[in-house]
Chains A and B, each alone.
Chain A
Amino acid sequence: MKSYDVVVNHKGFINLGIIDNILHQLKTFLFHKDHEKLLRKRVYSLSVECLDNILKHSDLNEQHHELIKSYPPRFIIEKIAGDFIIHTGNIVFNKNMNELILKLEKLNNLDLEDINALYKKSLANAEISEKGGAGLGLIVMAKTTRQKIKFDFEKINNEFSYFAMQLNLKK
């Protein structure tokens, strides 16, 4: 088995059909490479949550066609020496940035026990948004990877920034 693989490399618009194609491609890779069931499921679960986030929280519509061309959504999975690294990127409103930073910093400061407690509490209190999200995605990512979530924002203009995130999943 190779020690380095680019499992998925998607850069461009994302919709439900594209998500299905990416997940299909991922499943094929994971099954053919004879990975352990638990690792397979974790990579798959993280990918669904990341792609759902890009779809539901990318604060853009068709009016922003040019902006999407310059700053396309990204979803990349690499496999390095058995570990998986997932990179995502999408445009967000500047006005939503602080809330996102607070959520991520809070998660990065919790240990696994606290993350599990937060998950249970959030599950009980979650409300499903118009877009169908329960607000649990980031918590699931922290719970599944058991690693700190790396992230950064690049300011595009007064309204938007590009949000980049990296998840590390140890084998």
Chain B
Amino acid sequence: MKGFNIPAKEKTPQVLFDTNKYLFEIKGISRPENVRDFYFPLIYKIKKYFENIIEKNQEEIFKDECFKFNFKLDYFNSSSAKFISDILVVIKELSEKGLNLKIYWYFTDGDEDMKEVGEDFSDMISVPFNFIMIES
């Protein structure tokens, strides 16, 4: 399955799913006018891709190189938070099935709220995140 690259718009983040580079990346601002229309299709595609790997017993392909999930969000509203948590739950469930997936949570220096919300998410799904501070 091919990945996808949704470009950033004024109210929606860039979302990259690159199956060659083993990389998912969500970046920017998220307050879509229709939050369901934005997130449902991309969550579906991510799930399908990994479920297909599990069905074919190809979990070993990430053995040496993990599939990275980068969250580089500047701002998201509370409705988006629900969908971000849904993506994280999907990652947790897939990890439990033996896939080597890692979560990287980025926040800007001084933005302790963004770090804290990452800690909340990590706590909520009981999966450790790699926290990365970016100089502002």
Residues of A bordering B, CB below 8 Å? 16, 36-38, 41-42, 44-45, 48-49, 52, 116, 119-120, 123-124, 126, 128, 132-134, 136-137, 139-140, 144
- CB <8 Å contact, A52 and B111: no
- CB <8 Å contact, B36 and A37: no
Which residues does chain A contribute within 8 Å of B124, judged by CB atoms? 120, 123-124
Report Cα–Cα, A132/B123, bound state, in Å: 25
* Residue B31 lies at the interface, judged by CB distance under 8 Å to chain A: yes
* Residue B98 lies at the interface, judged by CB distance under 8 Å to chain A: no
Interface residues on B, range: 20 to 34
Which residues does chain A contribute within 8 Å of B75, judged by CB atoms? 41, 44-45
Which residues does chain B contribute within 8 Å of A133, judged by CB atoms? 78-79
- CB <8 Å contact, B78 and A140: yes
Which residues does chain B contribute within 8 Å of A37, judged by CB atoms? 108, 110-111, 136
Describe A's contact surface by its main secondary structure: helix
Describe B's contact surface by its main secondary structure: helix
- CB <8 Å contact, B35 and A132: yes
Among the interface residues A42, A45, A123, A136, which one has the most CB atoms of the partner chain B within 10 A? A123
Report Cα–Cα, A129/B120, bound state, in Å: 23
Known: A52-B79, A128-B83. 16 other contacts (CB 8 A): A37-B110, A37-B136, A38-B110, A38-B111, A41-B75, A45-B75, A45-B77, A52-B78, A120-B124, A123-B85, A126-B82, A128-B35, A128-B36, A133-B79, A134-B79, A136-B82
Among the interface residues B75, B113, B121, which one has the most CB atoms of the partner chain A within 10 A? B113
Quick one: which of B2-55 are within 8 Å of A by CB?
A: 31, 33-36
Report Cα–Cα, A52/B33, bound state, in Å: 10
- CB <8 Å contact, A48 and B77: yes
Which residues does chain A contribute within 8 Å of B114, judged by CB atoms? 41
Which residues does chain A contribute within 8 Å of B83, judged by CB atoms? 128
Which residues does chain B contribute within 8 Å of A126, judged by CB atoms? 82
